[in-house]
Amino acid sequence: MSNAVLVIGGGIAGIQASLDLANRGTKVYLVEELPSIGGRMAQLDKTFPTMDCSICILAPKMIECFRHPNISLLTYSEVTEVKRDAGNFTVKILKKPRYVDVEKCTGCGTCMEKCPAKVPNEFDIGLGSRKAIYMPFKQAVPLIATIDPEHCLYFTKNVCRVCQKLCPSNAVNFEQKPEEIVVNVSSIILATGFDLFNPSIMSEYGYSRYKNTLLSMELERLISASGPTGGHLVRPSDGKEPKRIVFVQCVGSRSQRGELPYCSSVCCVYATKESILIKEHLPDIEVYILYLDLRAIGKGFQEFVDRAKKEYGVKYIKAHPGGITEDPITKNLQIYYEDIPTGEMKKFTADMVVLCPALIPKQDNKKIAQVMDLELDEYGFFKSKNELTAPVDTNVPGIYICGYCQGPKDIPESIAQASGAAARAAERIMCVTREAGS
């Protein structure tokens, strides 16, 4: 058995699995498709229920991955082929070209200052902007610039090259080619995380039409100190501070209408968290959460919600949301809903609406499943070999799953599953893996 493991996905689950294995002497290849590891946790402002600054508790782990002698960090890379090979896997990994020499780049940021091409920033869900040559966020690991060929003026129009002229380390290399490497591993751990369902197709909510209707992750970026407004909570339409914010839960989730019938499990509590953050920023603001069931199910969560109600005055309303309309002049929003306790249809004006959308497995999971012969469930999550007794195993011996890509869960559960997958991979290296669940 090879003494190496491949981890696909550089979010907190992938990072935890990699560190557990690396710390016991196993060689780990950590592959991440984005230019930096960190995943969703890097985008969050604070984490519930402890209200830790998310990047503060994540960054040390990211750096540990980067510096660990047993971890080969392969960011901006993808797995293209997996072949089974007598119990091991031979994997082809494609390192996409950054057009920046990673040995020479010091992360100084000079190139980004002068680049003339501005692009909506994916990290800020389009609320902020970046340049065509960029580092996705301030604490990116590795802290190396990347050129996006779709927006770079040199690649699209054959002009500019300012970054190359100015780079003090001569690190820009427009001739860089993709590089393929082949590795041999005994296990593969999938930790590909999740995306946010785009509720634009639910016309009744007006997302992407109404300027002041945001997705929860967009709100996180607005209130985050490292976000596009430096942490100032302002309305996208006019830059003013909102006076009343309404959260709408279960957007696209638990729906019988053909969207996603499952519960994303974390939204009730993160909406509570965001409400508390909003109240800390603007103590006089009114915050309402329209919810179906208040799923504060984890350790300390119910107490967290109780605090939000008692100490911060967040108002929770049991409601079936109807629709949202926009006032064309003020850009305020009218929210219609069925008030569950009274059964009445009510309406309500707010200057900002936050939609908590379903969290969905990544589209790429389908491709990965194909490449590795894995089973997906009907929503696109990777399927556990046995949901009860083998949650991190899959139908393919040696391939393990953890984190949200296995099913809705929060950060501590993702970390537990990640360590769990690491244990299974470690067992496999010892070559006496019994079939889990038997």
Partner 1 sequence: MNESKEIHVGVFVCHCGVNIGGVVDVPEVVEYAKTLPNVKYAEGSLYTCSSEGLSKIKEAIKKYQLNRVVVASCTPRTHEPLFRSACEEAGLNKYLFHMANIREHCSWVHPKEPKKATEKAKEMVRMAVAKASLLEPQAEPEIDVLPSALVIGGGVAGMTAALSLANQKFTVHLVEKESELGGKLRELYKLYPSDHYASEILEEFLQAVRSNANIIVYTSSTVKHSEGFIGNFKVTINHEGKEETLDVGTIIVATGADVLKPQGMYCYGQSKNIVTQLELEQLMKEKKLERPKNVVMIQCVGAREGKEGGRNYCSRICCTVAVKNALQIKELFPETEVSIVYRDMQTYGKDFEEQYNKAREGFTQFIRYDVENPPEVFIRPNGKLIVRVHDILIDGTLELDSDLVVLSTPLIQREDAKELSKILKVPLGSDGFFFEAHVKLRPVDFATDGIFVCGTAHSPKTIAESVAQAYAAASRAGIPMTLGRVRTEAITAFINEDSCTGCGTCINLCPYNAIQKDERGVAKVNDVLCKGCGVCAASCPEKAINMRHFSDAQVLAEATAALGET
Partner 2 sequence: MGEFEPKIIGFLCNWCSYAGADLAGVSRIQYPSNIRIVRVMCSGRIDPTIPLEVFMRGADGILVLGCHPGDCHYVEGNLYEERKIKMLKMLIALTGLEPERLRLEWVSASEGQRFAQVVTEFTEQIRNIGPSPLSGEKPNQKIFENLQAARNVASEFRLRVLVGRERELTEKSNVYEEKVSQEEFDSLLGEIVEAEFIRHKIYLLTKTKPLSVKALAEAVEMKPADVLRKIVNMRRKNMIALDHVEGTTPLYKALEVK
Residues contributing to the site for partner 2 (CB under 8 A) = 50-52, 280
Give the shortest CB-51-to-partner 2 separation in angstroms: 6
Asked if residue 207 binds partner 1 (CB under 8 A), the reply is: no
Q: Which is nearer to partner 1, 290 or 418 (CB)?
A: 418
Q: Which is nearer to partner 1, 242 or 298 (CB)?
A: 298
How far is 21 from 402, CA to CA, in rounded Å? Answer: 14
Task: Kindly state the tokens that stand for 317.
Answer: 């309303």
> Using CA of residue 360, residue 361, residue 366, residue 367, what is the dihedral sign?
positive
Ramachandran sector of residue 159 (left: φ over 0; alpha: ψ -120 to 50; beta: rest):
beta
How far is 231 from 99, CA to CA, in rounded Å? Answer: 32
Binders of partner 1 among 25-44, rule CB under 8 A? 25
Q: Which is nearer to partner 1, 14 or 206 (CB)?
A: 14
Nearest to 412 by CA among 10, 16, 132: 16
Query: 374 with 279: CB under 8 angstroms?
Result: no
Binders of partner 1 among 325-354, rule CB under 8 A? 340-343
> Which range, of 152-160, 164-172, 190-198, 402-410, touches partner 1 by CB under 8 A?
402-410
Site residue total, partner 1 (CB under 8 A): 88
Q: Which of 143, 317, 369, 396 binds partner 1 (CB under 8 A)?
A: 143
- B/e letters for 44-60, b = 16+ CB within 10 Å, e = fewer, are bbbbbbeeeebbeebbe
Q: Which of 298, 321, 357, 398 binds partner 1 (CB under 8 A)?
A: 298
Asked if residue 413 binds partner 1 (CB under 8 A), the reply is: yes
Q: Which of 60, 69, 239, 258 binds partner 1 (CB under 8 A)?
A: 60
Q: Which is nearer to partner 1, 18 or 332 (CB)?
A: 18
* First and final C-alpha spacing in the chain: 22
Q: Which of 11, 321, 391, 398 binds partner 1 (CB under 8 A)?
A: 391
Binders of partner 1 among 239-268, rule CB under 8 A? 254, 256, 261-263, 265
One character per residue 76-115, x = contact with partner 1 (rule: CB under 8 A): -------------------------------x--------
Give the shortest CB-20-to-partner 1 separation in angstroms: 5
CA atoms within 13 A on the CB side of 376: 19
- B/e letters for 91-124, b = 16+ CB within 10 Å, e = fewer, are bebbbbbbbbbeeebeeeebbeeebebebebebb
Asked if residue 234 binds partner 1 (CB under 8 A), the reply is: no
Q: Which of 381, 382, 394, 398 binds partner 1 (CB under 8 A)?
A: 381
- Give one DSSP letter per residue of 379-413, joined into a string: TSPBPPSBTTTBTTB-SSTTEEE-GGGGSS--HHH
